[in-house]
Amino acid sequence: MARIASTRLSRLLTGWSSEGAGPLPRRLADALRELAERGDVPGGSVLPSQRELALVLGVSRSTVTAAYGLLEGEGWLESVRGSGSRLRGSGALDRYVAEGRLVSFNARSGGSGTADLSSGALPGLGAVGEAVGALTHGDLGALLGDDGYHPYGIPALREGIAAYYRAAGVATEAGQILVTSGSQQAVWLVVQALVEPGDTVVVENPTYRGALEALRARGARLVPVGGDEPDGGAGGTGSAELRRLCAHAHGRPRLVYLQPTVHNPTGRTLGGAARREWQRVLADQELFTVEDTACAELALGDGENEEADAPVPLVADLPMASTVTVGTLSKLFWGGLRVGWVRSSPQVVARLAKIKTSVDLACSVVDQLVAVRLLDRLPEARARRRAELRGQRDAAEALVRGAAPHWEWTRPAGGPALWVRIPGADTEALAQLARRQGVSVVPGAAFSPVDGFRDRLRLPYAHGTEALAAALPTLLECAERAAG
Do residues 416 and 122 make contact, with C-beta atoms less than 8 angstroms apart? yes
Residue spans in the chain of domains classed CATH 3.90.1150.10: 103-121+380-481
CA 287, 293, 294: angle at the middle one, nearest 5? 135
pLDDT value of position 297 = 96
Query: What percent of the chain stands above pLDDT 70?
Result: 91
Mean pLDDT of 33-51: 89
Chain segment 108-149, per-residue pLDDT in tens: 444 445 789 999 999 999 999 999 999 998 888 889 989 999
**Orientation angle between helical segments 378-403 and 365-375, nearest 10 degrees:** 90
The conformation of residue 136, written as its DSSP 8-state character, comes to: -
pLDDT value of position 333 = 98
How far is residue 269's CA from residue 318's CA, in Å, rounded to a whole number?
Answer: 19
How far is residue 252's CA from residue 473's CA, in Å, rounded to a whole number?
Answer: 48
Do residues 350 and 328 make contact, with C-beta atoms less than 8 angstroms apart? no
Max CA separation in the chain (angstroms): 71
pLDDT value of position 18 = 77
The CATH number of 137-376, from 3.40.640.10, 3.40.50.150, 2.40.110.10, 3.10.105.10, is 3.40.640.10
Question: For residue 238, is pLDDT > 70?
Answer: yes
Mean pLDDT of 88-115: 53
CATH number of 103-121+380-481: 3.90.1150.10
Strand extents, DSSP E, 146-185: 177-180
Chain segment 308-342, per-residue pLDDT in tens: 567 899 999 999 999 999 999 999 999 999 999 99
Do residues 232 and 226 make contact, with C-beta atoms less than 8 angstroms apart? yes
pLDDT value of position 98 = 54
Number of H helices, E strands in the chain: 17, 14
How far is residue 340's CA from residue 210's CA, in Å, rounded to a whole number?
Answer: 14
448-474 exposure pattern, b = at least 16 Cβ within 10 A, e = fewer: bbebbbbbbbbbbbbbebebbeebbeb
Mean pLDDT of 393-420: 97
Mean pLDDT of 440-465: 94
Chain segment 428-447, per-residue pLDDT in tens: 999 999 999 999 999 999 99
Chain segment 381-406, per-residue pLDDT in tens: 999 999 999 999 999 999 999 999 99
Do residues 484 and 427 make contact, with C-beta atoms less than 8 angstroms apart? no
How far is residue 195's CA from residue 116's CA, in Å, rounded to a whole number?
Answer: 35
* pLDDT band per the 50, 70, 90 thresholds, residue 22: confident
Do residues 308 and 424 make contact, with C-beta atoms less than 8 angstroms apart? no
pLDDT value of position 161 = 98
Higher-scoring residue by pLDDT: 110, 479: 479
Most confident of 17-31, 69-83, 163-177: 163-177
Question: For residue 457, is pLDDT > 60?
Answer: yes
pLDDT value of position 232 = 61
pLDDT value of position 399 = 97
How far is residue 147's CA from residue 158's CA, in Å, rounded to a whole number?
Answer: 18
Mean pLDDT of 72-83: 84
CATH number of 6-87: 1.10.10.10
Q: How far from 298 is each of 151, 210, 262, 389, 421, CA to CA, in Å? A: 28, 18, 7, 8, 22
Residue spans in the chain of domains classed CATH 3.40.640.10: 137-376
Mean pLDDT of the chain: 90
pLDDT value of position 96 = 53
Mean pLDDT of 404-426: 97
Checking 72-78 for CB contacts under 8 A at 24+ apart, the result is 74/29, 74/33, 76/29, 76/32, 76/33, 76/36, 77/32, 77/47
Task: Choose among 462, 457, 477, 464: nearest CA to 228.
Answer: 457
Residue spans in the chain of domains classed CATH 1.10.10.10: 6-87
pLDDT value of position 234 = 45
Query: What percent of the chain stands above pLDDT 90?
Result: 77
Mean pLDDT of 214-220: 95
pLDDT value of position 40 = 85
